[in-house]
Amino acid sequence: MTRERPLAVVTGARRGIGAAIAVELAARGFDIALADIEAGGAQDVLSAVQAHRARAMLFPFDLGEVERHEHVLAQMVDWGGPVACLVNNAGIPAAQRGDLLDVGTASYDRVLGVNLRGTFFFTQAVARHMLTSAASHPRTIVTVSSVSAELASVERGEYCLSKAGLGMLTRLFALRLAEAGIGVFELRPGVIRTPMTDGVASQYDERIAAGLVPMRRWGAPEDVARAVAALADGRLAFSTGSVLQVDGALSIPRL
């Protein structure tokens, strides 16, 4: 069967930034394989993707379960064809914010296990697939990390460590895949209004108003989605390994 639309895989796609990315890529001509740890509540994003005449399928799995990666990827490829774009968006926060000296092994292992270990091995699986499959569309890997890859938050140390590791992941895969023409990029969102930030929204409202974000507003999931889409079509492939800040100038050092 001939498939006219390239396939994009978006992890953590059920809501928030991942859902916005899935819808934006569908609008740009991709079919979407959505991956998320839960299926509940996914119908809204599936319907939004399909409204762009894209095919959409949800593949529920826990990114931290590395032993399932190859099986899930095979299901995605069987359903949608070769993967043209992988968006590593899935991630979890620290179990709770608190003193760095109180971080326990359970929270550390879970956050690093999903955000870094899980992302590394799923990217590895997709990269192997890309190198052995026919390509009729530019191929890209985009990892959504965070300004916390560089800006330290001592109350959520394990999260910052996981995001910092994604910066090196991007550089490593960019070097390994450069000869094959596969573009690898990192996006670092700043303060984005999503369900993950609901619990600290009032705190950030005050800090944004006080100048934390020079653009004086929250970021929206659509801000990140548009940046991903700009990379996914392969037009910036010679910039492979690059980092794109999506943070309203939050991360620019100031006096």
For residue 206 the two structure tokens come to 């005050």
Active-site hit among 159, 173, 185, 218: 159
Which residues are CB-contacts of 25 (< 8 A; sequence separation ≥ 6)?
8, 10, 32, 85, 87, 225, 228, 229, 232
* Residue 76 neighbours by CB distance under 10 Å: 20
Which residues are CB-contacts of 126 (< 8 A; sequence separation ≥ 6)?
9, 73, 83, 86, 141
What's 50-87 look like in SS3? HCCCCCEEEEECCCCCHHHHHHHHHHHHHHHCCEEEEE
Concerning whether 159 is annotated as a catalytic residue, the answer is yes
* Residues 197-234 as b or e (16 or more Cβ within 10 Å = b): beeeeeebeeebeeeebeeeebbebebbbebbbebbbb
DSSP classification of residue 37? S
* Residues 3-13 as b or e (16 or more Cβ within 10 Å = b): eebbbbbbbbb
Cα distance between residue 191 and residue 250, in whole Å = 8
Give the residue numbers marked as catalytic: 159
